[in-house]
Amino acid sequence: MWESIQSMCLHVVFILFTILIYQVFFKEREEKRKKIRSKFFLFMLIILVFTMSQPVLYSEIYKYDFKAVAIILSFLYGGKRAGFAAFLALIVTGFFTDQRLLILLGNYTVFCLLLLPVTSMFHRYRIKGKVIVISLFYMMIPITRGIFLQLKEDHRQTIFELSSSLIVLATLIAIVYLIENMNEQIEMKQELIRTEKMNVVSQLAASVAHEIRNPMTSVRGFMQLMQKENLTKEQHLYISISIEELDRAQEIINQYLALAKPQTDQYETIDLTSVIQQSIDVMHSYAILNSIHITQQVESSLEIEGLKLEIQQVLINIIKNAIEAIKSEGEIWISAAKNSNGFVSIQIQDNGVGMTEDQMKKLGSPYYSTKEKGTGLGLTVCHQIVKQMGGQIMIKSELKKGTCFTINLPSIK
């Protein structure tokens, strides 16, 4: 028995060493891991083939390995495609490693199907919750096997089954901690890059914006005076265009200043239902001009803490973007409701042109915009305002089908 446990410990060393190599040399983002060609899936295949080709032999009948670990990790961090690809690899490897194929196929078909809801539940929690979810799920295997062995009155085998299962579970928990730690490091690095960009924009705004603003105000004033003169129709048109462009430049400067401005005002209780309605009313005429219908479903008495003007700025900006994403005769759906985790969720969905994955990753960064004359600062300011309020903006989009912005803000309890 002790020799078998020692052999299992060697498997643990190999698996952890493989994961550490992946963590050190291949720091893949979450979206890259979900591709079958990812380095993560390759490492899962290495673990799967090794553990199935070198099983721990307790007796001629009973063999133990760590294939469940590779399958679980493939589903949790690689997604459905990687999970079922790993399942297919398991069956192929089982064919070449003298496994009982029918039993293997039956057991792991059920196992993989049960993993689907567990995977979605797993990603709802933080690291401690994730460990609890996956531990409870994995413990089904030793419990069912233990009951089977007890019915056969094989008590010695039952003890080894429980011991080996604890080793496998400890390995699985260690790997979850390692991967979650790697995810946190990647997120922290991305946050640092975003912060550095924001600092550059803020410094630029503070040093340049005021100096540009004053002469622009003078130029605009003189342009308005010139409009009162006896000019030709063409000259009036040119002056009107010049004033519009000056106003646009002024708006960009205001956005720079909004980035540079530190948060000093005290938050107050806001009637969010009323603010959403006011924002829709402001954008209603702009939507009608573009033949766009706005449908709303907003819960009554929604309250948050923040600054009314700022949250209105966020809503108007995103609704305006939704209108501009629709060429004509489209529809925008706006909903707001309080969810179970203490947040108010506002959804703004359109059936416009949509975006690619690459565009969604860059969205919200300074200077990046999908619009021809956009600066990207509008959404950057929106992200900053929502983040300061302890909320989050999430984006889902599909090319030629539309985009959905979800704004989650902490609700007043």
- In order, the DSSP letters of 242-266 are HHHHHHHHHHHHHHHHHHHS---SP
CATH number at residue 384: 3.30.565.10
Q: 246 pLDDT band (50/70/90 cuts)?
A: confident
Residues 241 and 287 in one domain: no
Residues 282 and 398 in one domain: yes
Residues 296 and 346 in one domain: yes
Report whether pLDDT(366) > 70: no
Q: How large a percentage of the chain has pLDDT more than 90? A: 6
* Pairing between β-strand 331-338 and β-strand 268-271 as defined by DSSP bridges: unpaired
Residues 64 and 109 in one domain: yes
pLDDT, position 404 = 92
> Over the chain, what is the mean pLDDT?
81
Q: 108 pLDDT band (50/70/90 cuts)?
A: confident
Report whether pLDDT(320) > 70: yes
DSSP helix/strand/coil, 153: coil
CATH number at residue 23: 1.10.1760
Take residue 67 and report the two structure tokens written for it: 């294939």
Residues 47 and 176 in one domain: yes
Listed in sequence order, the residues at least 6 apart from 252 whose beta carbon sits closer than 8 Å to its beta carbon are: 375, 377
Residues 166 and 33 in one domain: yes
In the chain, the number of structural domains is 3
Residues 297 and 405 in one domain: yes
pLDDT, position 80 = 86
Residues 54 and 170 in one domain: yes
Complete DSSP assignment for 363-412: TTSTT--SSTT--SHHHHHHHHHHHHTT-EEEEEEETTTEEEEEEEEEBP
Report whether pLDDT(264) > 60: no
pLDDT, position 262 = 57
Report whether pLDDT(155) > 90: no
Q: Which of 163, 191, 219 is the last residue of a domain?
A: 191
- Which has the closest alpha carbon to 321: 249, 369, 391, 259? 369
Q: Which of 260, 276, 293 is the last residue of a domain?
A: 260
- Number of Cβ within a 10 Å radius of residue 122: 21
Report whether pLDDT(192) > 80: no
Residues 343 and 391 in one domain: yes
Residues 337 and 225 in one domain: no
Tens-digit pLDDT profile for residues 282-313: 888 888 888 889 899 988 888 888 888 788 88
Higher pLDDT, 208 or 388: 388
Domain range for 103: 2-191
pLDDT, position 207 = 66
Listed in sequence order, the residues at least 6 apart from 205 whose beta carbon sits closer than 8 Å to its beta carbon are: 256, 257, 259, 260
Residues 181 and 199 in one domain: no
Tens-digit pLDDT profile for residues 71-99: 999 898 888 888 889 899 989 888 887 77
Q: Which of 149, 169, 191 is the last residue of a domain?
A: 191
Residues 232 and 290 in one domain: no
